[in-house]
Structure 1
Amino acid sequence: MTEMSAELRAMEAYRAWWLHDARWYQGVAKRFGYEVANEINAEALRFVAENIGRKVAKRTRGAGDGIEGLRERYEACAEAMFPSELRDGDVDVVEDDLVELVMRRNFAVTMVRMAGSLDGYECPCTDIHAGWSAGLGVELTENRATGCLRSGDPACRLLMRVREVPGG
């Protein structure tokens, strides 16, 4: 029997849990409708995202301030929730108080598509970003998508404008 590396085993477990999540979503949608499935999915992902934001905030205490430091924290949140092995994306500074998250490939959308649930699926991206922001202790004044892979756009483009830049 060929032995897998610890990293490959972790990625396989991660993929299995995302497949479970996609199938769970599909089961809820079939039994209770897409509206309920989307609401529960967004609520759960926001909870997870806030937890990740708190962990990133704790781990990066004393790190760089300003919009660039915040951009790095959002990137750390994205990496923790959607490792780069499972996504193609980045976070960029657009203005002094605005960052844009761009995802050209996202494993979650791929898994929902593979589970056959893409038609009724509502992306919970803004809920995820609200969770990250809450966990990081940042208040958003703008949190919106300007593009979405689910809708056939070449990338998800999400804007997050902060009320006050930490240390800025």
Structure 2
Amino acid sequence: MSTDTGSGNVNHRARTVEAYRLWWQHDANWYQGVAARFGQQVANELNAEALRKVALQVGQRVGRLSGPLPDTGDSRKDLEELRLRYDDCGDRMFPPELRNASTEVAGDDLIVLTLKRSFAITMVRMAGALDGYRCPCTDVHAGWSEGLGVTLAENRAESCLRDGDKACRLLMRVATPLSPAAEG
């Protein structure tokens, strides 16, 4: 992908995507180095810990920009707003060019994230490290949730690209009430 549009003009979006890709390459090389020196379990733990911290910061930023979560009394409507915030978190951490993800409200307390393409999985597979790799998805969702001020009653992967499934299906069951103000 060229980041030069000719005549000295720079395609800033292409440069941003290129920077993401370079950081993901750095991350993959870092992960491989830790795995080689200290074992894949340590690499997985440190990867998940670091991503959770980043996700927490992203969730806090989205929360500040979006304001308090609504408490309309309609849990489905309130959950739809939370779903949109999770989408914003995902777009901030993983640009759409590097993944194919969607979310849906699947009940009064459940948000389902479906991931059909993951740049991280692609890179880990290309590096030949897929066998021992553990996806940090639930750690990312825990960080987003904490940053957004939401408690999850359930946070698990029902299926995973890493395991050869056609998509990751991640369940985030929100503890009710949704917003802390509603506990009162």
- Give the TM-score of the pair, scaled to structure 1: 0.95
Matches within 5 A, 1:41-52: 41-52=47-58
Selected match of 1:117 from 125, 129, 143 = 129
Provide Cα deviations, 1:6-30, integer angstroms capped at 9, x if missing partner: 1101110110000110111011101
Q: Cα–Cα, structure 1 residues 93 and 2, in superposed 2: closer, same or farther, change >3 Å?
A: closer
Selected match of 2:162 from 145, 150, 153 = 150
Selected match of 1:140 from 152, 169, 172 = 152
**Does the residue aligned with 1:15 lie in a helix, a strand or coil?**
helix
Q: Does 1:27 align with 2:33?
A: yes
Coordinate RMSD, CA, aligned: 1.7
Shift of 1:85: 1.1
Selected match of 2:42 from 36, 47, 56 = 36
Shift of 1:74: 0.6
- Give the TM-score of the pair, scaled to structure 2: 0.87
Selected match of 2:97 from 85, 90, 100 = 85
Shift of 1:150: 0.4
Provide Cα deviations, 1:53-107, integer angstroms capped at 9, x if missing partner: 0000011115765011001001111111111111111111001111001000011
Q: Retained in 1: the 8 A contact 2:3–2:14?
A: no
How many residues align structurally?
A: 168
Cα distance in 2 for residues equivalent to 1:76 and 1:7: 18
Counterpart of 2:74 in structure 1 is none
Counterpart of 2:75 in structure 1 is none
Unaligned runs of 5+ in 1: none
**Does the residue aligned with 1:142 lie in a helix, a strand or coil?**
strand
Bigger shift: residues 116-125 or 38-47: 116-125
Larger Rg: 2
Cα distance in 1 for residues equivalent to 2:172 and 2:63: 17
Counterpart of 1:56 in structure 2 is 62
Shift of 1:108: 1.1
Q: Cα–Cα, structure 1 residues 131 and 63, in superposed 2: closer, same or farther, change >3 Å?
A: closer
